[in-house]
Structure 1
Amino acid sequence: MKRKGLIILLWVSLATSLFFFLFFTDEKSFRSFMMTLLISTMYSFLLGFGNGAINEFLNKKFPWLEATRTRTILSVISIILGNFILVYFCNYMNFVVIQKVATTEDFFSKKYGTTNWFMINIALLISAFLHAKGFMDELRKTSKKEVVEQKLIAKSANAQFESLKNQLDPHFLFNSLNVLSSLIDENPHQAQKFTASMSKIYRYVLEQKDKDLVTVEDEIDFAKVYCELLKTRFEDSVDFIFDVRNESVKKFVVPLSLQLLLENCIKHNFATSSRPLQIKIFSENDTLCIENNLQVREQIKESAGIGLANIVQRYSLLTKRNVFIEKSEDFFKVRLPILNTKPNTINVKSIDQDKVYERAQKRVKEIKSFYANLISYCVVIPFLIIINLIVSSKNIWFYFPMLGWGIGVIAHGLSVFAIGKNWEDRKIREILEKQNQEKL
């Protein structure tokens, strides 16, 4: 149990002992108060730790929002059995061991039956309230998680937009058109090949713009076409080496990452026939590496690093694995993680946002209504029990409202959490996941 829970139990023990000492204890002495405090502490900590252990166990095995119906049934069964055992144990320690006002035979006779039943009901009311509070805490955490997921979705969309702006680099297009213009007069056949390569490149860009991941094989094939175009443009000034293992080609990388990195190599390094720029693309330990010899070009304007930052951002939205950058005096190297499977993403754009908000608002009202009912039950029933025992302890009538209202509270809870319409939300998510997987 956390420190906050221990402090709460201490305060409950102190408040309970003061209440019983002031209103139900005839002997007002320090010894009597300490005895009352000891008994209250025993009840508070045993019942608190017992119910806390049950709740933590059920949270691990049957989380509220993943198995709501199963958790509700198990919570009802566990708190009834658990509190029955704990209350009988605490009452036995109180009346037989500590105060010694009853023998073991007396304790298990009808004489203490009403007392035990009264204490069990109080414990059940408190436990039901704590379990309901646990559900609300879990619901609040999940709501925060969903908000974070929506922010990530928005961030992903923005990253994809930025990616497109970087992929369709106007400088690359301008330089390519200049090369094409000169080739048309000098070498028409080579100009046709150059145009075909440009067509393949931009067709690939348009095909992959909506995808989160593509196979290494597709990305390498695209990179080879792109390198042919660069080779036509720079001739012997640039050399390309591909060395990717066969076991890596069916795995996945972020689309168009090679194009951005190859463009960076050309942009930031000078290349001449006497000192060619050597670019190597190879696989190494579940990473796709792009390495070039460092021949830094003097630049009037410092690079903003948008292309590389874009790749890092897109990877961060898909995996916890990082993009690694190595730089020395002789080479510059970027390691892209190769992913074994595609992430399971959900396309939420197809959901009508107004309907989602309306359904969520209705759901919140139902939950608030149930907890208002539960809190009223937890406040009113103990008050009726105390009045009944003080006014006419021989004529026990509090069972009728306690049982009748209790059944109503349980039915209300089942209708909200167990047999409600939450299956619709799960079904919508399943359909969206299936459609998204088919699209990928």
Structure 2
Amino acid sequence: MKIHLPQYNGLDNQVMILISPVYAFLLNCINFGSQYFSSPGYFLFATIVSFVWFCLDFVTCGAIAVFFRKRYPSEEDVPIRLTLMVITFLITTGLFLVALFNLFESIPYFNYRFNESAFAWSYLALGIISIFLTFLMEGISRFKEWQINQNETEKLNQAYRLSQLQGLKSQVNPHFLFNSLNCLSCLIQEDEQRAENFLDEMSRVYRYMLRNDDEPLVTLQTELNFVDSYKHLLKARFGDGLQLKIAVDEGDKVKFIAPLTLQVIIENAFAKNKLCKSDPLLISISSNGKDMLEIVNNIEPKVITDTMDFEANLDNLINKYELLDQPIIIDEASGQHRVIKLPLIHKIKELTP
């Protein structure tokens, strides 16, 4: 059975093992004077008792530090957190020191009597060490948080670059381009006006894909404008087999999402489900009033031979939002509908490609 000690920054045990022998030696030099070196047994016994006692003090202070970090977790709370920690540590270590001196006095082997002067100097040394350790542990904690943030930023950059690559693949996807051009060819023969409208919408779709290749986030309104043009192409291809409904609150349209997010979700839906006029694929995009966008589609699985690109795009999108601390929620528990809850972001975060 493993014992899990309180951890303020993950290096608590290492610091305790390094600091405790030093303090034990310093304390015993102050407290016992030359008697500390009177015999190997005396030296070893006093050192072990002091070492163990200081470790107990260190673990107790560690638990207090963890409590204050949970109680005051934000950047603005750092001064009050450190102040409370220092005050509490000084009180706690003072009590431990009193108990240690009484312990020495109660063990006949030490032949020790409580020395107020030694106690004062020991408490002063312990107080200085406690303050030093407080700022040392906080510094280590902040450095590790900085390392974690750097790693997360790097992962986000990698995900963003992968997103750009996946977006580029979508832009030059031969199947999508072929189907669009095939639809355009048919419309030219059937209805020149519809063909012209189709060509206008197609140019808007590709212009958006190219323009937003370097933008980490766009407003929901911008994405919905793109989806409107994208829907035009899909309707020309699938007809009444695909029905897309949008009901988004005006207040949500100024919030942000990653570009091409809705395209990835819509593509994934029609790649995995049947589309026919008698049993159409219904996709609805709506606000849920909780800074979330809900994308719902009915589930009518089809036999699929090649959906790897669509699944990879969706997986990459999920990873990207997780790195933004805005996880996407996918619910298919009912077996009849897939519900995707997409978080809406209030402000653009700095992303470096």
| TM-score normalised by L of structure 2 | 0.67
Amino acid aligned to 2:295 = C
Aligned pairs, how many?
A: 333
Choose the corresponding residue for 1:279, options 277, 282, 286: 282
Change (3 A) 1:50 1:230: closer
Please list the CA deviations of residues 280-316 of structure 1 after superposition, one character each: whole Å capped at 9, or x if unmatched: 21437544224145262564x5644233223323322
Could you tell me which residue of structure 1 aligns to residue 340 of structure 2?
335
For the residue of structure 1 that corresponds to 2:214, the secondary structure is coil
Residues 1:317 and 2:320 are matched in the alignment: no
| 2: CA distance, partners of 1:93 / 1:318 | 55
CA contact 2:16–2:58 (8 Å) conserved in 1: no
Determine if contact 1:323/1:336 at 8 Å carries over to the other structure.
yes
Which residue number corresponds to residue 206 of structure 2?
202
- Larger Rg belongs to: 1
- 1:123 match: 126
Aligned to 2:349: 345
3-state secondary structure, aligned to 2:325: coil
Once the two structures are superposed, the pairs formed by residues 44-123 of structure 1 within 5 Å of their partners are 44=54, 48=58, 52=62, 70=79, 74=83, 78=87, 82=91, 85-86=94-95, 89=98, 93=102, 101=113, 112-113=116-117, 115-123=118-126
TM-score calculated relative to the size of structure 1: 0.56
**In structure 1, the residue corresponding to 2:332 is in which secondary structure?**
strand
Matches within 5 A, 1:2-401: 2=6, 4=13, 24=35, 40=50, 44=54, 48=58, 52=62, 70=79, 74=83, 78=87, 82=91, 85-86=94-95, 89=98, 93=102, 101=113, 112-113=116-117, 115-124=118-127, 126-127=129-130, 130-131=133-134, 133-168=136-171, 169-236=173-240, 238-246=241-249, 249-250=252-253, 251-268=255-272, 271=275, 275=278, 277-283=280-286, 285=288, 286-292=292-298, 294=300, 296=302, 299=305, 301=306, 303-304=308-309, 305-324=311-330, 326=332, 333-339=338-344, 341-342=346-347, 345-348=349-352
**Deviations 1:305-346 (Å, cap 9, x if unpaired)?**
2332233233222235334153887x563514232534x622
- Asked if the contact 2:220–2:257 (Cα under 8 Å) also holds between the matched residues in 1, the reply is yes
**What is the Cα deviation at residue 79 of structure 1?**
9.1
The letter of the residue matching 2:340 is R
Equivalent-residue separation in structure 2 for 1:26 and 1:183 (angstroms): 100
Unpaired runs of 5+ in structure 2?
7-11
Q: Is the 8 A contact 2:271 2:307 kept in 1?
A: no
Cα RMSD (Å) of the superposition? 5.0
| 1:64–1:55 distance in 2 versus 1, CA, 3 Å | farther
Q: Deviations over 1:32-75 (max 9, x none)?
A: 8999589747963675467556755775678898788x589959
Q: 1-side partners of 2:74 and 2:313: how far apart? A: 43
| Structure 1: unaligned runs, 5 residues or longer | 350-440
Give the percent of matched residue pairs that are identical in Structure 1 and Structure 2.
25
1:158, CA displacement in angstroms? Answer: 1.9
In 2, distance between residues paired with 1:308 and 1:187?
Answer: 36
Alpha-carbon distance in structure 1 between the residues aligned to 2:91 and 2:161: 52
Conserved 8 A contact 1:166-1:260: no
- Asked whether the 8 Å contact 2:160–2:320 carries over to 1, the reply is no
